[in-house]
Chains A and B, each alone.
Chain A
Amino acid sequence: MRRQVPLILCFLFGIVMMLVEFSPHPVSEGLRAEVIEWDLIIGPFALVIGVVTLVHTHWIRIRRRVEHWQYSYLVFIGMIVMVAFGLPMGPKNGGNELPKWLEWFKWFKGPENEVFVWFFDNVQVPMEATMFSLLAFFIASASYRAFRARTLEATLLLAAAVIVMIGNAPIGDVLWNELSPVGENIPSTARQWILDNPNLSSRRGIILGVSLGVISQSIRIIFGIERSYLGGGD
């Protein structure tokens, strides 16, 4: 009951979804669309696990007064602010003005709420972009260590990266056209050739290998050979 039923459900849903992908019959297409909608409905509930784990982790940090525990309150504040402004949805009344007793609800616009959008635009997005741009500095120091042309392989890595970087930046073509008497826009052409040929062929090799792995793992899951997702216990 505790392990067998989930295995059977996984098998049934897996087999059905695999078979209906191949069938153009209206019934199977309807079934496929319905199950995909079920997936979209069940999926958001999985967020519960993530949120519970996050809240639990930070609650424990606060209770045990571990180092920097005070910052855990900020996690809760951020989460509550976004949910408080973004979640409530008032009646729309078909675009008409709301009755007097309902006009308080006019601020409840779901994700279109001004405060929710303001926090997203002015706090979340800038911080996300800055976090990723921070990697530019770390990637520079990493490349200093990695790009030492000691072997053929390291030299190829270095050469491909440098050509792609120079070819990506407009200044690469501008400098080449100014300084070199041979050819026009050679850096961007070389970059495109690398991306379209040796890069694409290695990627195809990796993609083919990964895909075979995904298929074999999916078969293992459907047939209950791989069952680590059930976790431990009974």
Chain B
Amino acid sequence: MGTLTDLITLLVDFVTSHAQILGIWVAAFFTLCIYSFLYRDNPFYRFAEHLFVGLSVGFGIVISIHQGLIPFAWDPFWEAVTKREFMGLLKLIPIAIGLLFFARLIPKYSWLIRYPIAILIGIGAGRAIPNVMDAFIFRQVHGTLTPFGKIHAGELGFFAIFGAILMLVGVICTLTYFFFSIEHRGVVGRISKVGIIFLMVGFGSAFGNTVMGRVSLLIQRVDFLLSDWLRLI
């Protein structure tokens, strides 16, 4: 038993000492596998793609158990049992509700899965109303209108005043564009046309940011291949 443990420890030490260099080669191989898709769909890409899906799902399972179930369900439950803090036994209720997801595996009782789904959706919907109202309605409206108070107090310069007016006009015009209860004709039509202009600038800048984000990732991967792997730069 002791010899086998020593042998495994030796093996683990050997792999650990070479893990970094092995990791660089493996990462380079999979990077090239995925870039091979630029030529066309091929076995190397499919190999990397399927392995990636499996690893990601496995990672998701491990993380959701170790960062969700264990700290929030198992630990309080175990403390309740060992230290006789019986409030922790309350955690048995959500565990039991969560276990109903497994009813999906038994066709006869698969309807039981509606219980946990309904609870999750109910909690989500209930929390969404005040939180969305606060963060995305009140604060956004507040942010749009606050500068006008400063304009009134004479605290803003010309460009800031121009920016504040532009912001208000943009928000109203964009909202009008998405207001479908009346036909977009006449004044409403003209306002919604201005809304399209703001939307196009918004989409353009979002597109520009996305492109730069992707290009940054590309630079990072090329840098990895040339620097860490090939040591050319």
Contact = CB atoms under 8 A, between A and B. Distances in A.
Contacts of A76: 54
B61 A87 contact: yes
Interface in A178-222: 191, 194-212, 214-215, 217-219, 221-222
Question: In this complex, which of B100, B104, B172, B204 has the most chain A Cβ atoms within 10 angstroms of its Cβ?
Answer: B204
B212 A169 contact: yes
Interface string B22-36: 111011001100110
A133 B170 contact: no
Nearest to B111: A2
A200 to B, nearest CB: 7
Contacts of B101: 45-46, 48-49
A42 interface: yes
Interface stretch (B132-140, B150-158, B181-189): B132-140
Interface string A1-45: 011011101111111111001100000000000111111111111
Given A9-B122, A229-B118, A122 B27 contact: yes
B199 to A, nearest CB: 5
B233 interface: no
A161 B202 CA distance: 9
A11 B122 contact: yes
B197 interface: yes
A128 interface: yes
Contact of B204 (A68, A82, A160): A160
16 contacts: A3-B114, A17-B127, A42-B97, A43-B120, A44-B64, A46-B117, A54-B57, A74-B51, A124-B59, A126-B31, A160-B201, A201-B202, A202-B201, A205-B198, A214-B128, A217-B125
Given A79-B54, A124-B55, 13 more contacts: A38-B93, A40-B68, A42-B94, A45-B99, A82-B57, A87-B62, A118-B19, A130-B30, A130-B217, A199-B201, A202-B170, A210-B136, A211-B133
